[in-house]
Structure 1
């Protein structure tokens, strides 16, 4: 199938449209395969890092951080950069946000700060797409 500019295009899943570039090198194809495996098998877990009030040492919220269980072992910023380099950055970020929201439901939802009790905010970092 071709788009209005004559580029070969394909559809993945239910909503992902991706241009298939025949000039893409073997290294890009390896990166793309790794990212697609992470997306397909959801090889991403979420850990929570406490956000601590410095004056009192109380936990006032948590930050959701992505960790990858796929090979090769690499820091999260490398996985997100690789995904963006092969056109799958948005999909990987959406997976991370969805997993963070799912995990946040299971996390204790309240914290105590001084004499008040309130819901614990969860910060989910994402790029400004």
Structure 2
């Protein structure tokens, strides 16, 4: 396995990526969890998500609403879960191995609600399961 640390020195400048789960031999590592500074890892391939302020609503939810504590371990009030669904619906391109090359919105993977944490949100991508990651707030 090869390991790639996203933002290893903590000086990132507003990046957002999707790690699509796949047997690539490359594992991407990211710090999340707000003040807990949890270490997460996913084998797969990386899709950058381009645009300004794409992580703002995510930061508003996890840093503002949840006060930097990160995960709720599945106990999401309906209104907050709706905000999270909307925040992760970023448009990404799937792999070039598909006929449909138009950007498709990500969807919150509601089968993995207990895995959601600050800077680590399970999503469904055009190519299957993945994780939406962004610069940790701590």
Same fold (TM over 0.5): no
TM-score norm. by structure 2 comes to: 0.30
Greater fraction of residues in strand: 2
Greater gyration radius: 1
Scaled by the length of structure 1, what TM-score is found?
A: 0.31
